[in-house]
Amino acid sequence: MLERQASPRPPSRGRSFVPREHGAYAQLGFPMLAALACGRPGPASVLLGLSAWALFFAAEPVQVLLGRRGPRARAEEGRRAGGRIVLLGGLAAALGALGLLAGPSAVRGAALVPAVLGVAFVALLAAGKERTAAGEMLAAVALASVAFPITVGAGVGTPAATRALVVWALGLSALVFPVRAIGARRRGHASPARRLLPALGACAVAVGLVGTLLVPADLLALAPLVVASVWLGAAPPAPRQLRRVGWSLVAATLATAGLLVVHARGWTAGPLPNGWRGTAGRGSPGGGCRLGPRPQCVEVPRPRRDGETGGRIEGAARLGGPPG
């Protein structure tokens, strides 16, 4: 009788190094998309964005190499993880350097913000505290801050880019603690007041910054993330509903990104110069200032007074361009 020969076992494909933290994709991607849509992105913005994604995909190999995915994964995949880190790290460094060289000095200055936040998160990662509330909050702000130099490189002014960064930092930070409280082991340890505190704190800080760093329209952009935080804090869903929670957070983040884009491209921003007031954008009768790739200010028509020969100041003054 002929013996049946065992078929050779197919070679193992190895562990996937795709990042597992699905929320991090939104924290990095949506602020970046908003930054690119706010202005006219050039080579600097595109290269910096690609550099950030290369670093992002290097995160999972770093977790494996540090043993965060277990000793077996480190023993079996440590060498491959190290090679992937070298490859993606070198690619990120090259793309980032080209992006900084291609952009103006303002982009290089803005790039210090995500660089400092990234170094701070790496320190927490090395200490094994990346899963704490402070670590997750820092990770969310650091990922969103990548959009800051990209926004500046897209031709949007540094003040507008700073306002967008503050909105993202407040909104994403307000979501960290309620999302953490959804876990079955944490639900009994977090009171409703404690779950609502991040949203209330974000609102208080944002309102306090209006007139100095933020404008009223930024509160509207912050609203979707704060509302999502209040919803999760007031009535936290069960852990089995995490998929629905995830899609709800994606919708809130996308809404904030859309409102920031609309605000940057067509809405009025302040404070305005003396004798000027804001309106809803180009073509409106009152005049005003708006942000965008080509910031524009239109002088306000003032009413005619008795004894005056002129009653209206007509025309427009374009900042950085010829008179309209």
pLDDT tens for 46-99 read 999 999 999 999 998 998 888 888 888 888 888 898 999 999 999 999 999 999
Q: Which whole number is the average pLDDT over 30-41? A: 93
309: Cβ–Cβ under 8 A, 6 or more apart, which residues? none
Which band of pLDDT confidence, cut at 50, 70 and 90, is reported for residue 126? confident
In this structure, are residues 279 and 299 in contact, taking their beta carbons and an 8 Å threshold?
Answer: no
The most confident of the ranges 15-29, 86-100, 167-181, 296-310 is 86-100
Which band of pLDDT confidence, cut at 50, 70 and 90, is reported for residue 192? confident
Which band of pLDDT confidence, cut at 50, 70 and 90, is reported for residue 9? very low
Give me the residues paired with residue 214 across strands: 210
131: Cβ–Cβ under 8 A, 6 or more apart, which residues? none
Which band of pLDDT confidence, cut at 50, 70 and 90, is reported for residue 315? very low
pLDDT attached to residue 251: 93
The most confident of the ranges 71-75, 146-150, 237-241, 319-323 is 146-150
Strand ranges across the sheet with 317-318:
288-290, 296-298, 317-318
Q: How far apart are CA 296 and CA 286, in angstroms?
A: 14
AA identity, residue 180: R
Which band of pLDDT confidence, cut at 50, 70 and 90, is reported for residue 10? very low
Q: Within the chain, where are the H helices?
A: 22-38, 43-57, 59-65, 71-102, 105-110, 112-126, 133-145, 147-153, 158-180, 184-187, 192-209, 216-234, 242-266
pLDDT attached to residue 13: 63
pLDDT attached to residue 77: 87
Q: Give this prediction's pTM.
A: 0.76
Q: How far apart are CA 312 and CA 191, in angstroms?
A: 60
71: Cβ–Cβ under 8 A, 6 or more apart, which residues? none
What 3-state DSSP class applies to 299? coil
Q: How far apart are CA 141 and CA 225, in angstroms?
A: 14
